Amino acid sequence: MATLINATIPACELALSEAFTSLPNLEIEAEQLIKGGENTVMPLLWVRGVEPDDFEAACESDPTVDELELLTAFDDELLYRMQWFDQVSLLFQMLTNAKACLLDAFGKNGTWSLRLMYPSREHLSETKMFCSEHELSFSIEAIQELEGEPSGRYGLTTKQYRALVTAVNAGFFDVPREVTLREVATEMEISHQALSECLRRGTHALVENTVLIGPAESHP
């Protein structure tokens, strides 16, 4: 059975440790991580909380950064293409060995928060063994088994998933709204209050597990 985990690893064992140390407000969200050569990774990263000049100066002295290119700049975030090397290759070796898929990566305060999917618990055990052998401080924060329902991929309960899907299909989230909350509740044969609570909690879980990367407290 597929297994979804949230885990953390210190930046000193992955990438950009010195950048996080010199820039305490730095936040980084991976848009994409691509394996390059044997010992390189070419990521696209959203960078927040710093000015471009400060971030680029910090990267110049960071031993994990080989190349850096600013692609897009907005008021509150920057999109960079980089080239990492050195110990970064260990992460991809770990994922390859366990047939895992890296879904999300978020860095702050010298720590990377990762969201990973494994084909099974047995494959996750291979990661634990790999980390032990290579002395990696890989800490698992949460484990979730994906049991058939697509809700599991997004941190939703089955009731929350069905409530959101029913509301969307009925036009509750359309502008202008096609149906009222009470009409959706009637269709689902539950109370208006129960549906309201289900939609609120489901929306919170959906955003937290798809839009927000990393610890919830990182996103005021």
CA distance 45 to 29: 6
pLDDT in tens, 147-186: 655 556 667 888 888 899 999 999 999 999 999 999 999 9
Average pLDDT, the chain: 85
Higher pLDDT, 155 or 8: 8
Residue 188 belongs to a domain with what CATH number?
Answer: 1.10.10
pLDDT in tens, 61-73: 998 898 899 999 9
Domain identity same for 64 and 167: no
In the chain, pLDDT over 90 holds for what percent of residues? 44
Domain identity same for 107 and 45: yes
Domain identity same for 129 and 187: no
**Of the candidates 99, 87, 79, which has an alpha carbon nearest to the alpha carbon of residue 40?**
87
The DSSP secondary-structure symbol of 61 reads: T
pLDDT at 42 over 90: no
CA distance 194 to 201: 11
Average pLDDT (92-113) is: 87
- E-strand ranges in the chain read 3-10, 27-35, 40-48, 65-73, 77-85, 101-108, 111-118, 139-145
pLDDT at 215: 47
pLDDT at 210 over 90: no
pTM of the model: 0.71
Confidence of residue 220 (pLDDT cuts 50, 70, 90): very low
Q: What are phi and psi of 143, to 5 degrees?
A: -130, 135
Domain identity same for 83 and 101: yes
**17-31, 137-151, 191-205: range with lowest mean pLDDT:** 137-151
pLDDT at 37 over 70: no
Determine the 3-state secondary structure of 2 from DSSP.
Answer: coil
Per-residue tokens: 167: 């509301």
Average pLDDT (81-105) is: 81
| CB burial of residue 82 (10 Å; 0-12, 13-18, 19+) | buried
Question: What range defines the domain where residue 17 resides?
Answer: 3-144
User: In sequence order, what are the residues at sequence separation of 6 or more whose Cβ sits closer than 8 angstroms to the Cβ of residue 133?
Assistant: none
pLDDT at 187: 93
The total of structural domains in the chain comes to 2
Q: Of the candidates 125, 144, 163, which is a domain's last residue?
A: 144
pLDDT at 54 over 90: yes
Domain identity same for 95 and 188: no
pLDDT at 121: 86
CA distance 30 to 48: 11
Average pLDDT (189-212) is: 85
CA distance 207 to 213: 9
What is the residue whose two structure tokens read 């991976």? 30
pLDDT in tens, 116-139: 888 888 888 888 888 888 888 889
Domain identity same for 117 and 193: no
Higher pLDDT, 191 or 32: 191
* H-assigned helices in 27-117: 52-60, 88-97
Domain identity same for 167 and 105: no
Domain identity same for 180 and 199: yes
Q: Of the candidates 101, 117, 144, which is a domain's last residue?
A: 144
| Chain centroid offset of residue 113 CA | 7
Domain identity same for 84 and 15: yes
**Structural contact between residues 30 and 45, judged by C-beta atoms closer than 8 angstroms:** yes
Q: Of the candidates 97, 126, 144, which is a domain's last residue?
A: 144
Domain identity same for 136 and 172: no
Per-residue tokens: 206: 């959906």
What is the residue whose two structure tokens read 């209050």? 193
pLDDT at 39 over 50: yes
Strand partners, 48: 27, 77
Domain identity same for 120 and 154: no
pLDDT at 57 over 80: yes
The DSSP secondary-structure symbol of 11 reads: G
